[in-house]
Amino acid sequence: MAFIDRGLRAFRAAAAALAVCMFALLGAPAATAAEVNVYSIWPENWARPMFEEFEKATGVKVNFVRFSSGEALARVVAEKNNPRIDVLFGGPVETFAAGVPQGIFESYKPPSFDKLPERFRESSGQWVAIADDPLVFMTNKKFLAEHKLAPPASWQDLLNPVYKNMLQMADARTSGTAVTRIFSILEVNGRDENKAFAYMKQLRPNVQLYTKSGGGGTLPVGIGQAGGGIFFIVDALDTKAKGYDVAISFPKEGIGTSAEAIALIKGAKNPDTAKKLIDWATSAQMQSLFAKYKINFVPANPEVKVEPSLAAVLQGAKIFPIDAKYAGANRKQVVDRWIAEVLNP
Amino acid sequence: MRPGVGARLRAEPALALAIAILWVLIALFIVYPIAMLLARVFVEDGHFTLTGIAAVLTDRHQVVAFWNSLLLGTLVGVIGTAFGFIFAFAATRCRLSPTLIRLIDVAVLLPLVSPPFTMAIGYIFSFGARGLITYDLLGIKGAGVYGMTSTMTAEAATYFPIAYLALRPMIAAIDSNIEGMALSLGASRWRVFRTVTLPLCIPGLANSFLLLFAASLADFATPLILAGNQFPVLPTQAFLQITGLFDLRGGAALSLMLLVPALLVFVAQRYWVGRGHYVTVTGKGAGQAPFDSVTPVARWTLVSLCVAVTLFIVYLYVLLLYASLVVAFGANEAFTLQHYRVVFTEGLRVLGDTLIIAAIATPLGGFYGVLLGYLVARKRFVGRTTMEITSMVNYALPGTIVGIGYLIAFNDPPIVLAGGALIIIACYVFRYGATGIRTTIAMMQQLDRSLEEASESLGASSSTTFRRVTLPLILPAFFAGLGVMFIRSMTAISATIFVVSLSWTLVTVKILENMTELALGVAAAFSVVVVAIVFIVIFAIGRVLRRLRAAGASAVTGLLAT
């Protein structure tokens, strides 16, 4: 059946060539010897410029498709015996941690490995972090004005009854954002699980919707269908950059942050170019480009400075890393408890 | 006297061959992927196991989700069929002006030809605390948008055109002389409707209920956005179980729970419809009705209802168009063509891939649907019922499961299709060809067998009879099947998100991606382009057909050619 597929590809090439003639918009993809196949969990508008820069720097062509973290992981697991890609790129560490026991990654330690703080790397090199992403409170300014409120500056502020049924945040079943949020709440409550869950249950009536993806609530908050929520800073700043009138604030008790990672796929067909991409992505070369493309991740590589306007937002914010060991050991139990006691009381 | 089944097959090698080929295809593209998936689910280290599954099935919340799904499917099935019937009846029996019919046709087809999520996104903007309808128009504060009502009405609005598409040719095919005779014998119009017209529509109504019920059971996109946390349904739960909790076993088990009601409805429908006799297309021709089928009051009620629903749908799509033409909906509403520029530069390859795949899948799926539908409705062979039921499995299962099954089955030898276009095409043909099968079977139940028997008794073979007699009569079903295949090939997502690859990807995957990353304008622009392409293609098909075909196909081509 492969020949049919080749035929179809040839047909598409012809169609593409025709399109070039007609629109002069699309260049036929140049055939390069070196390439690397990637599933990107980062949205295309961040991943594409990164890969284009990589191509410019190394001459290696990146073929990629974008999937949400869950879909990407489900695919890599299903393709385990005959991998289709070489690198899994971007996406919260939780996703990568879930992939490790499935045996889908090949350990690889890029040159930057030893420079990275411990929480930005899996000890045997199953994954390595490329960025850091703190959580923030994001609120709709019109909503705040209507209720004469200041942006929430404490976890307790979110319990205010004016937020009743007006907050959106991620669902812990599907979103790393939510897991980071829950561990933040555990942390500010001194890891006293009962106290933390009492808070979450108290917050429950104010939650309008637990969204599937971490950024799912940004648009509703932006247009005012929801009053506010808890999001990663990249999503929040992106909402603001789009022109939505939102306020970004941090709780005085502190809030957690989660790393974004990259990993080599076991049985990768292009291991050399894959390693090249991982070397590049974990180095200052890629992470110093975040600012140029207005990607508001905090670089994981300590050699790269945080971009000034992002640094200004983060100024004075109390941000703590989630202890990977503690989170790893308790994740399933805590999420199960969240489903049973908070989501479906 | 009829010869035995075996003797008939021996006498007709073409028939035997067709059946054999269909069985091979069904085994390969329906049974094999599901079997591979089940093997992953129930076998661990070479042992049969129920761990994980039991936990999911006894979970109180999953049981609630199961009943919610049944409730939702039933409501969508009933309400969608009712609206489909009202629209079909109004279009064929209320003497509407052709222009109005054409306008209604275009509008109600919109949800059907749109990528998923578009309707749900329209709801999010329209209802809720700052909804355009609830807040800006009606001034309601603190309105909620998430829950059963939104999910149900959005699904009903999305799927009722299927019922309309299936019921309209059926009502049009009912010989109005029958109704005329009842009227002239002194029956009231209501009595004629209740005792003549409605019973004749039962195969179609049951058929469309089944299609809508199955569509609702399989739909994860609408509840994902609209159901909220108070109204969990199984397809979404299964999707979340797999892509969120990385629990393939649990997700597959949840999906298998869905297969049970889907098959039950299907079997019930088969026996319920199978008992009656609904032949209205005989060798004798039918004339145009020389009388009014409805009273003026009934007519105005029906027409206003149709117009109201139509306007609501149009409103949602004006919203979509608007979102595609402004910088950022709700924040910066300055006019821009930037989103379309993205579609026609970065998105061009994806559009090309989608069109190529749709162009191949459509005729294959249309032919597969009519052939299989015809064989199980008319021919007697061993395993006929099994074939009919098996052919519905991929349609009845949630797309997530079908997609994962395909990925597992066709990623490794002996049959490697992953990464190519064929896996997507096969996924479409054997999932959405089911609509053509159902429509063909329902159509065949209205056709008098005597027409074919006459041909066969004159010495024509099965294939000649099929080609010369049956095919022209079931062409409406064939073209309806073609239309649905093309539409689905352009808009499906739940299964295909798992079979797209680096070399072949689809526009719906792109739309979903853009929607989830706040690029709403680009997502809207892609959706508008998809809707436009589908309309152009359907219009073109309709034009060609009108030129080529005779009266038999006019009912559906009229619809498709709008």
Nearest CA in chain A to B128: A225
**Nearest residue, CB atoms, B330 vs list A66, A73, A244:** A244
**Nearest residue, CB atoms, A209 vs list B146, B328, B497:** B146
- Predicted pLDDT at B557: 35
Q: List pLDDT tens digits, range B288-325.
A: 455 566 677 888 888 899 999 999 999 999 999 998 99
Dihedral sign from CA coordinates of B560, B102, B473, B114: positive
According to DSSP, the β-strands at A255-265 and A87-92 are: antiparallel
Q: In b/e form, how buried is each residue of A199-232, taking b as 16+ CB within 10 angstroms? A: bbeebeebbbbbbbbbbbbbbbbbbbbbbbbbbb
Higher pLDDT, A268 or B455: A268
Which architecture does CATH list for B5-560? Answer: Orthogonal Bundle (1.10)
| Residue entry with tokens 């933390």 | A196
Helix (H) or strand (E) holding A211: strand A207-211
Share of chain A above pLDDT 90, in %: 59
Helix (H) or strand (E) holding B10: helix B5-11
Does A70 contact chain B (CB < 8 Å)?
yes
Based on the number of CB atoms within 10 Å of its own CB, is B502 exposed (0-12), middle (13-18) or buried (19 or more)? middle
Confidence band of A343 (pLDDT split at 50, 70, 90): confident
| Residue entry with tokens 């009051």 | B297
Does B370 contact chain A (CB < 8 Å)?
no
Higher pLDDT, A155 or A97: A155
Q: Do B345 and A208 touch (CB under 8 A)?
A: no
Confidence band of A14 (pLDDT split at 50, 70, 90): low
Amino acid letter, residue A7:
G
Residues 6 or more apart in contact with residue B126 via CB below 8 angstroms = B132, B133, B134, B315, B316, B319
Confidence band of B197 (pLDDT split at 50, 70, 90): confident
Percent helix, strand and coil across chain B, each to the nearest 5? 75, 0, 20
**CATH no. of A2-132+259-313:** 3.40.190.10
- Predicted pLDDT at A23: 40
A vs B: CB pairs below 8 A? 170
**Nearest residue, CB atoms, A75 vs list B348, B498, B513:** B498
Residues 6 or more apart in contact with residue A339 via CB below 8 angstroms = A172, A173, B61
From residue A42, give the alpha-carbon distance in Å to each of A69, A102, A127, B499.
Answer: 9, 22, 16, 20
Pick among A85, A223, A338 to test the B interface (most B CBs inside 10 A) = A223
Report angle CA B302, B306, B310 to the nearest 5 degrees: 170
Q: Do B518 and A216 touch (CB under 8 A)?
A: no
End-to-end CA distance of chain A: give it in Å, rounded: 52
CA B339 – CA B467 distance, rounded (Å): 48
A:16-35 residues touching chain B, CB 8 A cutoff: 16, 19, 23, 25-26
Q: List pLDDT tens digits, range A21-30.
A: 444 333 333 3
Enumerate the domain spans of chain A. Answer: 2-132+259-313, 134-257+320-343
Q: Do B328 and A208 touch (CB under 8 A)?
A: no
Does the domain at residues A134-257+320-343 carry the CATH identifier 3.90.550.10? no
**Nearest residue, CB atoms, B245 vs list A15, A173, A242:** A173
CA A133 – CA A179 distance, rounded (Å): 13
Closest-CA distance of chain A to residue B440, Å: 30
* A134-257+320-343 matches A2-132+259-313 in CATH topology: yes
B:218-277 residues touching chain A, CB 8 A cutoff: 224, 228-229, 240-246, 248
Higher pLDDT, B375 or A331: B375
Confidence band of A271 (pLDDT split at 50, 70, 90): very high
Q: List pLDDT tens digits, range B21-49.
A: 999 999 999 999 989 888 877 887 777 87
Enumerate the domain spans of chain B. Answer: 5-560
Q: List pLDDT tens digits, range A274-301.
A: 999 999 999 999 999 998 998 999 999 9
Tell whether omega for the bond before B414 is within 30 degrees of 0, i.e. cis: yes
The three-state (H, E, C) secondary structure of B20-51, written as one string: HHHHHHHHHHHHHHHHHHHHHHHEECCEECCC
Q: Do B502 and A68 touch (CB under 8 A)?
A: no
Strand partners of residue A66: A40
Q: Do A223 and B327 touch (CB under 8 A)?
A: no
Nearest to A87 by CA among A285, A258, A269, A298: A269
B:170-229 residues touching chain A, CB 8 A cutoff: 224, 228-229
Q: Which two tokens stand for residue A85?
A: 């890609």
Q: Do A219 and B520 touch (CB under 8 A)?
A: yes
Q: What is the pTM of this model?
A: 0.79
Does A173 contact chain B (CB < 8 Å)?
yes
**Nearest residue, CB atoms, B243 vs list A174, A209, A239:** A174
Nearest CA in chain B to A221: B130
Share of chain B above pLDDT 90, in %: 17
Nearest CA in chain B to A39: B502
Nearest to A112 by CA among A294, A280, A317, A297: A280
Nearest to B153 by CA among B202, B83, B91, B214: B83
Confidence band of A267 (pLDDT split at 50, 70, 90): very high
Average pLDDT value for chain B: 80
Mean pLDDT over B203-211 rounds to 81
